[in-house]
Structures are given as C-alpha cells and as structure tokens.
A and B are shown apart, each in its own frame.
Chain A
Amino acid sequence: MLLPRLCAPTRAAFAASRNPHTTSSISNTALEAIRCSNAAPATTILSFVRHATHQSEGRANGPKDGPGKRLGAKKTGEQYVIPGNIIFRQRGTLWFPGENCDIGRDHTIFATQPGYVKYYKDPLKHPKRQYIGVVFERHQTLPVPPNAARRRRLGMLAVKREDIEEAREDAVGDLVEGANSGEGMVRETPREDKVPQVVKTGNKELVMRPGYMYREANWQIGRAAEKKGVKVNKFDRGDRFTAWRKRNARKERNAESRRLRTKKK
C-alpha cells in the first residue's frame, strides 16, 4: 500500500539522471570527437542477413511425383458391363452418372444395370456436363429424346409359386378314413399295416424307421429344442453387434479347425 508513495522520490531521482541535456550530452560529443580524430580507415562490414520467407523443409516441399492413383476409364464406350462394374475412376466429377449408372463416394462411376457403356453429353439436362450411361442394347443411343417413355428392364423370371396350398393328400394322416373320397372320418385306431413297432427306452419311444433303425420320429427331433425350452432370439437384421460376435465366433471356429487339420498332417 505504501510502496508507490515511498518509491516516488527514487523515481524522480532516476528520471533526472536519464535526462540527456544534463549529464550524457557532454560525454557523447567527446566520444565523437575522439572518433573523428582517429584517422585510421574505417572497416565497414556489411552484415546483411537474408532470412528465409518460405519453409524449405517439411511436408509441403516433399516429393512432387507420388505414386499414380490409377485413375481414368476402366471401360471403354460400348463395352459390356454388369451391375457394380466400375466404369470410370476420377478425382471430382469429370464425368457424371447418366442412365443406369451411379456415382460412388469418391466420384467413381459404376453401372447399375447390365448393358453397354455410352459416353455422351445431354445439353437439355445440363449444357456443360458429360455423362456416362449404360444402354440395354448395343445399337441404342444416348441421350434419349425428351418426353420419350423410359427404357426399362424387368430383370425377373416368372416361376411357379411355392407357397400355394394345394390339395394336400400327404397331409391326411393314417387315422383318417376315406381321405380320397373326401368324407374325412377319423378312426379309433390306426390302420394295421401302419401300426409302428415301438421300443421304449427310458422316457423315449423309439419307432422303427425306414432304414431299419429305431429312433425318434423326425418331428420329435425337430421339437427337441422346444421341449428343452431353448430360447432362440429372433433374428434382427439391424443388430450389428450380435452379427459381429457371431462372425468372430465363426472365424475363431474355422481357424481352430484349420489348426487341428495342420496338426494332423
């Protein structure tokens, strides 16, 4: 608190000592006089340093000639392509995707339909852009005239439906009498020629199956998990974590079996 007030006289004394008119002016002129009287030739050394304005080292001035990126056309005009084939690799959009083509994240042009590659311009769509398209037949040309119906491909096959419920004869069990006549009476006991030979082992009933073996029926085997109360989570397409775990487990298994195989050898 008291410091500024205490320091005030000292500051005044210091200021007085720095005044050039009072003390140092005399000494300065004296020194100059001595310099002038000294007639020795003055050696004037020009110490001229030019500092760098650009960095000469580092990343920016590295090798100019890097590895080529293998850009350019991968398919020529009229060449046959299938969906996913890369037609052109580029930096930026030198070419734009036209009919039946698309553009990737790094501006790669690729085909979305099987067909023949066409390089073309479409001034009605854009006056300056150049496009790559795919046509279905080789003789077809691009661009298509405006307001013409689009060329479209079905790309499908007609097959018989699998899920049709037909007149199911095989579904009629051996307890049903007159299945073909359509009456559908249920018998008290199964038909004699269909009476199975059963062997009981533990709590299981083993039946003589075709192939001359006693075993559970297929439907019983199929229901084993249900009986045991095994809970299977429903497949969820979006559950990537489970997918990842399963994939890794499968890879592990495969690697393990491979290892075993090599050991055997």
Chain B
Amino acid sequence: MCHLRAASPTPSFEEHADIQAGRETASDMFYLSATPQEAQVQQSASPAPSSPPPHISIRALRSEEKRLGKKGVPIVGSRRRRAALKTSSQIPFEQLPYQCFQEARKILQADREEKIHQIEVQRARIARLEAQDAAVSGGELYKKNRLDSMRRHLEELKILADINDPLIKKRFEDGLGNMNRPIYRYLADRKWRQYKRLILDQRITQHNIVPDVLPNMDPVADVDVAFSQRIVQPGDVVESRRTEKPPTLRVQVFDKGERLVTVAVIDSDVPNVEKDAFDFRCHFLACNVPLSPVTPSMPLGTMPKENVVLPWQPPFAQKGAPWQRMSVFILQQREGKIVDVAAVKENTERHGFVLRSFVDRHLLKPVGVGLFRSKWDEWTEGVMKRADIEGADIEFKRKKIEPLPYKKKDGARYR
C-alpha cells in the first residue's frame, strides 16, 4: 500500500463505446495481457520469468519496485501474485484443458450477450422517451423521474454485463482497471466501502471531525494522504519533519465525468489563550482543481498558482498543547461554477478560517476527507523556524483550577 497507484495508461475511452471495447478485450483471453505494450510491461515487472531465484530479500524486491515506479512502469498485482505468475505455465483461457471450465465460460458469455442486448433495448427506449413530448408521457416531472430510473437501470445493466468476466476481475486486482469504464469504478467503490471507508467513518466519529469542522458529511471519494510517497492512515500522528513538505493526495472518485473541487486542509485545534478555547486554522486552500476518476493524483506542492489561495503551511503543535487534528477536505463545486480565486484570496485569512461558512458561501459539497494529527516533537522547532512561524518559544501549561472555599461546619452539631 505504500505506492500511489499510477493512473491508467489509456484513459481516453468514451463512455458509450465502453461496452464495445469491452467485448473486444474479452475475446483476448490470455492470462497475461495480449497487447504488446502490456506484455512488455509484464516482462519488465518480472525480469526473469524462466528461472525464479530461490530466495530474494524483501529489500531487493522493494528497491526493484522503486526503480520500476520511477521509470513509470505500473507494478502489477501483489508480490505473491507476481511470484506465482513467474512459475505458472501461461496458457490462454480458451486452451485450458478443463471441460467444465470451458462450459462455464460459455454460459457466462451467453449471459453477457443477453445483457448487451438488454442494454441496446434500454438505450432505444430512453431515446424514444427523450424524443417524446412531455404532455404525452404524463407531465414534465413524470417524464424526468421515468428517465432517471431508466438511466439508473441502464447503469446497472452495464455493470451486470461485465461483473462475471474473469479477465476484468484480474485486471482490476492487478490495478490496471480503466476507471473510465463503469465496471472498474463499481469494483473499486465496492472494495473501498468494504474496508477503508469503514475505518475512515470510525476515525471521523472518534475525532469528532463531523460536529467540529463540518455539520455532516458522507464520504463518497477515497482520499489517501501521502507525505513523501508514504500513505498516512486516517488519524495517524505524523512527525512534523514529514509534514514539512506538502502532501500528495490520491483522490479516487467513483462517478463518471470531470468536476472541479476545492481542497482545504484545516487544523481544528489551534489553542486560543485569551478566549480559553480552540480556533481553526487553514493550512492549505486551493479552488477549481480539476478531478476525474482517471486522474486521482493531486500533488498539493505543484498546484498551478492560479488555483492556490493559501499555499502549504507546515502543521505544528506548540509544546504542551494537545495534539492537533488536521483534516484534508475535498469539496465538490457546483457543476459549471467557478470560484473566484482572487476574491477569495482577498478576504481569507489562515487564522480563524471557518470551513462551515466557506462551504455555505460557495455552495460546496464535501465528498472526501483525509485525516492526520500533529504533535510537538523534537523537529517542530526547526520546522517552525524554517517556515517563519512564531511561537516556538511558548509552552502550554495546565491552568490551576481554584478549589471551592471550604465551608466549615458547626462543630457543636456533631457532638
């Protein structure tokens, strides 16, 4: 999990041509990818397929993976799977000598044909209804609802057509799924909801992110926060020297299309001694960041200047202060609505930035969240000095609570 998954090499698929393309790819039933480019990738990922070395140290494997990652070669599957691939006889699916297996494949293919036929029928129906006059089809609202439900059914059919395809399953598990196709998005969403989202939900509740920073939130996008190539588990305490440089986000959305998002990193535990309470501080703010299912990578350090409202300020917690919750929010902007960065820049300050009102003002919808925590450690002082932040010479100490005056009871009563 320590590597960010690279974007798929062939992102330009049209949505309506998906099924056609899928049918073609389904025919190449090679266990390894059939296209020469992918085959080459496979070979470079597994340098010596003929003679597997008897024992390789993890360190050697890791350095090899790092080398390939730097080259831009996607690393396929897990280490175990790559090792298995090296030793397996790579016979294509149609030539496998298992009669039952071949019969089962035939059934699956027939089912797929049927689903594709249903898709065509559904598309024709939708086109017919769209062309129809609203008065004939029972009113504008009725027509809209009917079209919505028909489109939903069409999406379901698209997924059902591909869900039983072993090659699609293999490609998804190898991390080679094309996120433009609904089936891969569906599989990725399901996988995320099975484990990562549950953890995230728990952390949001445990750290009270939801009532404190935003009134409510329903994460629909998978957000990974990575400092120097290392993903932080939601809610982890991260050393201040690691968080000095801005993180790279991997934001995977599971619905189609490009959209603009606002990215905000908020510290919700800034101590305020005068108020005897906590404030908010914004550590990063960027608007109008394009995001689509195939472009999940979002390096905060190299964002174009016209998008950035507040550049990265390293998170810090002064000595003695309680740990500070840093939350990374992905806020989806309304369709076709662009935030005026210059205007936002003018009336936005880091200290006292309230995300609730910002979200309300710009009609944003929170879609994803990432969490980490920061604490005073031995590197914080240096980090603060380098970033020109004052207050490293201050230490927080607990205020003594005055005891209530003791009321002396009348001794005579107790004699």
Digitize A140-153: 1 where CB-to-B-CB distance is under 8 Å, 0 elsewhere: 00000011111111
Digitize B391-407: 1 where CB-to-A-CB distance is under 8 Å, 0 elsewhere: 01111111101111000
**Is A154 at the interface (CB under 8 A from chain B)?**
yes
**Is B276 at the interface (CB under 8 A from chain A)?**
yes
**Pairwise interchain contact A154-B271, C-beta atoms closer than 8 A:** yes
Q: Which residues of B contact A154 (CB under 8 A)?
A: 271-273, 275-278
Contact of A157 among B273, B275, B277, B319 (CB under 8 A): B273
A185 to chain B, nearest CB (A): 30
**Is A41 at the interface (CB under 8 A from chain B)?**
no
Q: Which residues of A contact B392 (CB under 8 A)?
A: 161
**Pairwise interchain contact B211-A147, C-beta atoms closer than 8 A:** yes
**Pairwise interchain contact A157-B397, C-beta atoms closer than 8 A:** yes
Q: Among the listed stretches A80-88, A172-180, A237-245, A257-265, which one makes contact with chain B, having 4 or more residues with CB under 8 Å of it? A: A80-88
B279 nearest CB neighbor, chain A only: A154
**Is B216 at the interface (CB under 8 A from chain A)?**
yes
**Pairwise interchain contact B273-A82, C-beta atoms closer than 8 A:** no
**Pairwise interchain contact B211-A161, C-beta atoms closer than 8 A:** no
**Pairwise interchain contact B277-A153, C-beta atoms closer than 8 A:** yes
B141 to chain A, nearest CB (A): 31
Q: Which residues of A contact B404 (CB under 8 A)?
A: 80-82, 85
**Pairwise interchain contact A152-B401, C-beta atoms closer than 8 A:** no
Contact of A114 among B212, B356, B395, B401 (CB under 8 A): B401
**Pairwise interchain contact A164-B393, C-beta atoms closer than 8 A:** yes
**Pairwise interchain contact B211-A149, C-beta atoms closer than 8 A:** yes
Q: Which residues of B contact A155 (CB under 8 A)?
A: 276, 398-399, 401
**Pairwise interchain contact B319-A161, C-beta atoms closer than 8 A:** yes
Q: Which residues of A contact B402 (CB under 8 A)?
A: 82
Digitize B372-415: 1 where CB-to-A-CB distance is under 8 Å, 0 elsewhere: 00000000000000000000111111110111100000000000
**Is A64 at the interface (CB under 8 A from chain B)?**
no
Q: Which residues of A contact B211 (CB under 8 A)?
A: 146-150
A146 nearest CB neighbor, chain B only: B211
**Is A159 at the interface (CB under 8 A from chain B)?**
yes
Given contacts A156-B399, A161-B319, contact A147 B210 (CB under 8 A): yes
**Pairwise interchain contact B398-A156, C-beta atoms closer than 8 A:** yes
A103 to chain B, nearest CB (A): 20
A63 to chain B, nearest CB (A): 24
**Pairwise interchain contact B395-A159, C-beta atoms closer than 8 A:** yes
Contact of A156 among B208, B210, B320, B403 (CB under 8 A): B320
| CA distance in complex: A82, B401 (Å) | 7
Name the residue among B210, B216, B320, B356 with the largest chain A CB count within 10 angstroms: B320
**Is A158 at the interface (CB under 8 A from chain B)?**
yes
| CA distance in complex: A153, B396 (Å) | 14
Contact of B399 among A147, A150, A151, A157 (CB under 8 A): A157
Q: Which residues of B contact A114 (CB under 8 A)?
A: 401
**Is B321 at the interface (CB under 8 A from chain A)?**
yes
**Pairwise interchain contact A152-B273, C-beta atoms closer than 8 A:** no
Digitize B318-338: 1 where CB-to-A-CB distance is under 8 Å, 0 elsewhere: 111100000000000000000
A160 nearest CB neighbor, chain B only: B393
| CA distance in complex: A157, B275 (Å) | 11
Closest 4 CB pairs of A and B: A147-B215, A161-B395, A156-B396, A158-B394
Given contacts A147-B211, A153-B277, 16 further A-B contacts (CB under 8 A): A82-B401, A147-B215, A148-B211, A154-B273, A154-B275, A154-B277, A155-B401, A157-B397, A158-B271, A158-B273, A158-B395, A159-B395, A161-B392, A161-B394, A162-B395, A164-B393
